[in-house]
Amino acid sequence: MYSSIYSMTSRQLLPSSMKDISQPEAMVSNARKITLFGIVITFRSKKLRFIVLCCAVFVFYITYGFLQELLFKVDGMELYGWHLTLIQFLIYSIMAQLESICCAVINQRRKIPIYIYLQIATFTVGTMGFSNVAVGYLNYPTQVIFKCCKLIPVLIGGIIIQGKQYSCIDFIAACMMSFGLIIFILADSVVSPMFNPFGYTMISIALFFDAIIGNIQEKSLHTYRASNNEMILYSYSIGFIYIMLGLIIYGNFLDGFYFFSAHPLQTYGYGTLFSISGYFGLSAVLSLVRTQGVLTAVTVTTIRKAVTITLSFLFFSKPYVTQYLWGVRIEQAGN
């Protein structure tokens, strides 16, 4: 579960307790503000705040999913998933910087140590990059249903990274989700013209990184009391540098540039909208993680993905068998 990035420093990933950080950082105000897109949403009613955040997750990430599938309908796009991720990280960084300026926090001191951001950026690049690559090789609902099972590695990561304890119900739910996923994959292997083992490998790697990043983000936000804006700005700015260097080193940066230039509307146009909707969705998810915990946030995003799967079958032509429905039902019952 631990990548070689940990060898970059002998220091532990995060402090094991609040005593390991300075007193000013450890102090927490009970009236700590919760923001969404720079807007304070610290309502008296926690239920209202939860509903607002859930609505934001649904609206922006459903748009995100639609545009992601639309992007990979362009012939040849499956070869340039990392180039799309590069654009995505650039726009996330720009949006975070603009939000800092608008909210007058541009000179605010960074709270999370840079060595932690170097690691968070690595996991973020892994989950988003491999996920984008997988879309080009898998039936889109398969990619989504696979990511719905993030709850399973999140449980494992929560135990290892944060020392959390979960009930038997949580583990039973994880097993049901796994069973539903198996049914869905078996159906997909029979009827889908896009069944590709390489795609499953890519989405499995993305899922691995995704589970780690959620737990690390939750512990970082709670330990250092950093803002969502800071988390996004540093994670994606550093991640952008990682991806840029990777594309240049492997020598396919110009190929992607030429391909995107040949299809500017479908790539740069849809890619920009895709990234903006993803940024707003991510901000909402981080607020959910901060207020409700990573497990609740994952559950909300999983339910959202069920809606995305339904819309995918409605808006995009693809083969369908009843095993898909059973797989989704069992997987969602696990939630």
- Residue written as token pair 């996920």: 131
Token reading at 137: 């090789």
For 104: left if phi > 0, alpha if psi spans -120 to 50, otherwise beta; the answer is left
Q: How far apart are CA 54 and CA 111, in angstroms?
A: 27
Residue 26's pLDDT is 37
Does this model's pTM top 0.85? no
CA distance 124 to 236: 8
Please state, in angstroms and rounded to a whole number, the distance separating the CA atoms of residues 43 and 40. Answer: 8
CB 1 within 8 A of CB 215: no
pLDDT score recorded for residue 327 = 55
Give the CA angle between residues 310, 311, 317 to the nearest 5°. 100
Residue type, 81: G
Q: How many helices and strands, by DSSP H and E, does the chain display?
A: 14, 2
Q: Measuring CA to CA, which residue among 124, 57, 54, 115 is closest to residue 89? A: 124
Q: Are 267 and 74 in contact (CB under 8 A)?
A: yes
Question: What is the CB neighbour count within 10 angstroms for residue 306?
Answer: 17
Report the alpha-carbon distance of residue 226 to residue 289 in Å, rounded: 13
Q: Are 68 and 281 in contact (CB under 8 A)?
A: no
- What the block records as the tokens of 80 is 């340039």
- Other C-beta atoms within 10 Å of 47: how many? 8
Q: What is the pLDDT along the chain (335 residues), one digit of tens a residue?
A: 334 433 444 344 444 443 443 433 333 333 356 666 666 666 667 788 888 889 999 999 999 988 988 898 888 898 899 999 999 999 999 999 988 887 765 556 888 999 999 999 999 999 999 988 888 888 777 777 777 666 677 777 777 766 667 777 777 776 776 666 666 655 655 555 566 788 888 888 988 888 788 778 878 878 888 887 888 899 999 999 999 999 999 888 899 999 999 999 989 999 999 999 999 998 888 888 778 877 788 778 777 877 777 777 777 666 555 655 555 555 555 55
What pLDDT score was predicted for residue 16?
44
Residues listed for the chain: 335
Predicted pLDDT at 64: 92
What is the C-alpha to C-alpha distance for residues 87 and 278, in angstroms, rounded to an integer? Answer: 12
